[in-house]
């Protein structure tokens, strides 16, 4: 049955014809900004080392608060598919104040944007992971190794400290090893999937055979796992820890180390990396906090 009032009331019809496009436009303006026209391209933020307390040697975390709030505001404005923070969330494992401040600011992220935490060495035992450190991290931040899905990305989050020096937590290191091998084996069976690894300590900075040091995983374990990643088609690994940027390659695998949201230890200012994801390729660029883009144009070749 037709609504006679609607058909006769011309002024209402004109208003409805005006209102509908406005409502549609409003809805479109709130569509996720990380989805491109063809829905095959997206982007995410990789942050690392907010490390609350480092600037002032644990006497305060004023600067870290300013920086991390700026980074979270940028995420809320640009709306990435997800944000991953690659470790050293705090500087002092035992500081409840540092932990609370990190979580307070992280909680300001738009709830529609997933945030994935990664365990850093300062989060689980500083020089080497300890049972107490692992228990503390799990209590306040959750599991230290796990997977997540975002579009055609399978994110594998690892506790790199268990590779760096597992001497005090050998059973935990063995559990992560078994889990990783099983996860990679299953993931390799899924077609058109980008397997991307996120960790804190990089396997290497520039060269896969570089000498052991505080800023890379020892060679005795490094080669074994690089071979494993190659076996299952991993092409991208993102890390932090250096407090500066570094890029290295191993037989087509890109090792990307990103500068800090917190205190820099190199020429790069505090900032984070924006990573564009296409069907089978990731491209990325580091931005300092004072040079963040106003908009991400996914359909263009560059940011």
pLDDT tens digits for range 122-174: 999 989 999 999 999 999 999 999 999 999 999 999 999 999 999 999 999 99
Instruction: Please report the pLDDT score of residue 302 as a whole number.
Output: 57
Fold of 43-288: Purple Acid Phosphatase; chain A, domain 2 (3.60.21)
Secondary structure string (H, E, C) spanning 29-74: HCCCCCCCCCCCCEEEEEECCCCECCCCCCCCCHHHHHHHHHHHHH
Instruction: Please report the pLDDT score of residue 297 as a whole number.
Output: 80
Angle between helices 62-78 and 96-106 (to 10 degrees): 20
* pLDDT tens sequence across 71-95: 999 999 999 999 999 999 999 999 9
- Those residues whose C-beta lies under 8 Å from the C-beta of residue 285, and which sit 6 or more positions away, are 273, 274, 302, 303
The answer on pLDDT for 37 being more than 80 is no
Distance of CA 146 to the CA centre of its chain: 13
- DSSP label at residue 205: S
**What's the CA gap between 278 and 256, in Å, rounded?**
17
Q: What is the mean pLDDT of residues 180-185?
A: 98
Instruction: Please report the pLDDT score of residue 279 as a whole number.
Output: 85
The model's pTM: 0.86
């Amino acid at each position: 049955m037709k609504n006679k009032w609607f058909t006769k009331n011309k002024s209402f019809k004109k208003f409805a014809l005006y209102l509908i496009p406005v409502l549609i436009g409003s809805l479109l303006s709130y569509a996720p900004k990380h989805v491109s026209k063809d829905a095959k391209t997206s982007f995410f933020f990789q942050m690392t080392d907010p490390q609350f307390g480092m600037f002032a040697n644990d006497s305060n975390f004023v600067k870290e608060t300013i920086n991390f709030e700026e980074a979270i505001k940028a995420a809320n404005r640009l709306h990435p598919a997800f944000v991953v923070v690659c470790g050293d969330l705090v500087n002092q494992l035992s500081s409840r104040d540092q932990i609370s401040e990190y979580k307070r600011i992280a909680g300001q992220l738009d709830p529609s944007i997933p945030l994935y935490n990664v365990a850093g060495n300062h989060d689980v035992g500083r020089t080497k992971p300890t049972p107490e450190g692992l228990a503390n991290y799990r209590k306040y931040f959750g599991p230290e190794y796990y997977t997540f899905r975002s579009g055609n990305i399978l994110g594998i989050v690892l506790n790199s400290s268990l590779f760096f020096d597992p001497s005090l937590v050998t059973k935990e290191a063995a559990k992560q090893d078994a889990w990783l091998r099983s996860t990679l084996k299953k993931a390799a069976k899924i077609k058109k999937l980008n397997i991307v690894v996120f960790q804190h300590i990089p396997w290497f900075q520039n060269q896969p055979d570089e000498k052991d040091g505080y800023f890379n995983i020892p060679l005795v374990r490094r080669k074994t796992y690089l071979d494993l990643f190659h076996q299952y088609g991993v092409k991208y690994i993102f890390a932090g820890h250096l407090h500066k940027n570094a890029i290295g390659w191993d037989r087509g695998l890109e090792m990307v180390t990103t500068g800090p949201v917190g205190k820099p230890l190199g020429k790069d200012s505090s900032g984070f990396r924006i990573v564009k994801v296409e069907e089978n390729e990731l491209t990325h660029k580091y931005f300092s906090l004072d040079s963040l883009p106003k908009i991400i144009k996914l359909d263009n070749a560059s940011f």
